[in-house]
Amino acid sequence: MIKKRPHTAREVAAFTLFSMEEEGAWSDGALHHYLDRADLAPRDRALATRLAYGIIQNRLLCDWYLRQFSKVRLSKIAPRVHICLQLGIYQLALTDRIPAHAAVAETVTLIRNYAHANERTVGFANGVLRAVAQAAADNQLPRLNCPDKESFYSLHYSHPEWLVRLLTAQYGQKPTAAILAANNATAPVSIRVNLLRSDRDTVLKRLIEDGFTVHPHPKAASMILAESGDIASHPLFTEGVVTIQDTASAVCVELLDPQPDTLVLDCCAAPGGKTFYIAERMHNQGTVISCDIYEHKLEKIQAGAQRLGLSIVQPTLQDAAQPRAEWVGKADSVLCDVPCSGMGIIRKKPEIRYKDADEIQNLPEIQKKILENCANYVKPGGTLVYSTCTILERENQAVVQEFLQQHPEFEAVPIEHPVFGTSENGMITLLPSIHDTDGFFIAKLRRLT
Ligand SMILES: C[S@@+](CC[C@H](N)C(=O)[O-])C[C@H]1O[C@@H](n2cnc3c(N)ncnc32)[C@H](O)[C@@H]1O
């Protein structure tokens, strides 16, 4: 992290982007780190947030504009200078409320102060930004000229072309455009009420009294949607009355339908969001074995269970791809919420879209191994749910279909849920563009023998 204390919204945004580039920091963690240190007025906090996320959400488009105006190749521009130029171009070309002179002057100041730039580089950046500002003022910004719809969407919505092509092959052109647009929109914060401690109406009333803009989810009975406010700092959160959880995750647990006094195995459980809802739906009666492969992540499960008063949760170190003899045939319900590419949660973590395509190529192999192994823990008549927070079929339907072909002892269970509707083949994909949730896949299976 950058040691200096940021003093302006643009410094917070720049430091956040530098940390992501230089240390691989996540956008939300880095942004909050610098916002906490900056002590900005609410308006400037909002501007810093908008700039940081705006650049991540529009990086490819900003670079395209930069290429049109820069005589220097992008690969030859130093990383911090490049980030500052993206910051300037975003303000000049893609927003309409920020005065151009402030965008140019403050970007040049950032380059001078934080990008280790010499006068020649500062002059180059100044020239590029002034040219963009002039073109924007004259309504003469270059128009995207792309050979096909996919390459146009890729630039227009700043998603890599391989991802756009994959989504188009799966969902079609128009639905893909809607998904990409939804990925760049602001997601509401969704809150789930711990029904062991309160009820939705009471929580809604309290949050409204405390100045939050909240309303009940129109289709998910357990959820509240908040448009603003820091729920995690509210006493209702610290006292374990509410959890921040996407509606799609709640739907996943509702389809698993865990019952009190049963044994549930949550095989890839950290940080524990679904485990907590499972234990709440079991009225804190029975056992939830909550596994993860990383020991340090088990502490998060433990802390969350304690906060919510859930004593039946047992955080357990276990590789879900490796057999554990004493669990075979014992569980009433098994949840495999497997590691995935995360291409459904771009709305919340915008940088996920830029993951290396090769790095996520082998995920289906790991996912199949986990499903294959954890299926052995389900007792006859028991339920197996496979889920991911991605919308790529190769990690979803393809994994489950192959599993079902090889395991006639399992059958798909038709799904009916108010948030999604019905699915005869036991598989559903929730989409930000349709369901206003994270992109999420859920398959519900039953063990016959
Ligand atoms: C999608 S996240 C789970 C989210 C969690 N179910 C929740 O609702 O909060 C996947 C988790 O699987 C864990 N994981 C990855 N590989 C694993 C493995 N082989 N066995 C068990 N856990 C694994 C990761 O550490 C990560 O915490």
Residues 236 and 251 in one domain: no
Q: What's the confidence (pLDDT) of residue 291? A: 98
Q: What is the DSSP letter of 393?
A: G
Task: Provide the ipTM.
Answer: 0.99
> Which residues form the pocket of ligand 1, taking CB atoms under 6 Å from any ligand atom?
249, 268-274, 291-294, 297, 319-321, 337, 339, 370, 389
Task: Tell me which residues are annotated as active site.
Answer: 389
Q: Is the torsion defined by CA of 158, 171, 188, 33 positive or negative?
A: negative
Give whole-number Cα distances, 400 to 8, 29, 426, in Å. 49, 34, 10
pLDDT tens digits, one per residue of 95-105: 988 999 999 99
**What is the average pLDDT across 57-67?**
98
Q: How far is the CA of 298 from the centre of ligand 1 (A)?
A: 10
Query: Which run of H or E residues covers position 184?
Result: none
Give the closest residue to 373 by CA, choosing from 294, 249, 265, 261. Answer: 265
Residue 253 lies in a domain: yes
Query: Which atom of ligand 1 approaches the CA of 266 most closely?
Result: 6
Binding annotation for S-adenosyl-L-methionine: 268-274, 292, 319, 337
**What is the average pLDDT across 304-320?**
98
Q: CA 7, 20, 359: angle at the middle one, nearest 5? A: 170
Q: Which CATH number covers residue 379?
A: 3.40.50.150
Give the closest residue to 369 by CA, choosing from 249, 267, 233. Answer: 267
Query: Which atom of ligand 1 approaches the CA of 339 most closely?
Result: 10
Binding annotation: 268-274, 292, 319, 337
Q: Are the CB atoms for 277 and 194 separated by under 8 Å?
A: no
Residues 24 and 90 in one domain: yes
| Straight-line distance from the first to the last Cα atom of the chain, in angstroms, rounded to the nearest whole number | 54
User: In the structure, what pLDDT confidence band is assigned to residue 2 with cuts at 50, 70 and 90?
Assistant: confident
Residues 221 and 252 in one domain: no
Q: Is the peptide bond before 271 cis (omega within 30 degrees of 0)?
A: yes
Q: What is the DSSP letter of 232?
A: G
Residues 162 and 207 in one domain: no
Give whole-number Cα distances, 430 to 85, 148, 197, 256, in Å. 36, 27, 29, 16
Q: What's the confidence (pLDDT) of residue 43? A: 92
Residues 103 and 234 in one domain: no
Range of 154's domain? 149-183
List the structure tokens of 398: 């393809």
Q: Are the CB atoms for 212 and 231 separated by under 8 Å?
A: yes
Mean pLDDT of the chain: 97
Q: 3-state class of 102 per DSSP?
A: helix
User: In the structure, what pLDDT confidence band is assigned to residue 3 with cuts at 50, 70 and 90?
Assistant: confident
Residues 311 and 406 in one domain: yes
Count other C-beta atoms under 10 Å from residue 226's C-beta. 19
Residue 143 lies in a domain: no
- Separation between Cα atoms, residue 440 and residue 251, nearest integer Å: 10
User: In the structure, what pLDDT confidence band is assigned to residue 372 with cuts at 50, 70 and 90?
Assistant: very high
pLDDT tens digits, one per residue of 225-262: 998 778 999 999 999 999 999 999 999 999 999 999 99
Query: Which run of H or E residues covers position 263?
Result: strand 262-266
Instruction: Give pTM, 2 decimals.
Output: 0.96
Q: How far is the CA of 371 from the centre of ligand 1 (A)?
A: 13
Query: Which atom of ligand 1 approaches the CA of 294 most closely?
Result: 25
- Separation between Cα atoms, residue 242 and residue 308, nearest integer Å: 8
Q: How far is the CA of 324 from the centre of ligand 1 (A)?
A: 17
Task: Please choose from 243, 268, 308 the residue to mutate so as to test ligand 1's pocket, defined by most ligand atoms within 8 A of CB.
Answer: 268
Residue 1 lies in a domain: no
Residues 370 and 255 in one domain: yes
Q: 3-state class of 341 per DSSP?
A: coil
Residues 328 and 443 in one domain: yes
pLDDT of 288 > 90? The answer is yes
Q: What's the confidence (pLDDT) of residue 235? A: 96
Residue 4 lies in a domain: no
Q: How far is the CA of 425 from the centre of ligand 1 (A)?
A: 25
Residues 6+ apart with CB under 8 A from 239: 197
Residues 123 and 218 in one domain: no
Query: Which atom of ligand 1 approaches the CA of 270 most closely?
Result: 27
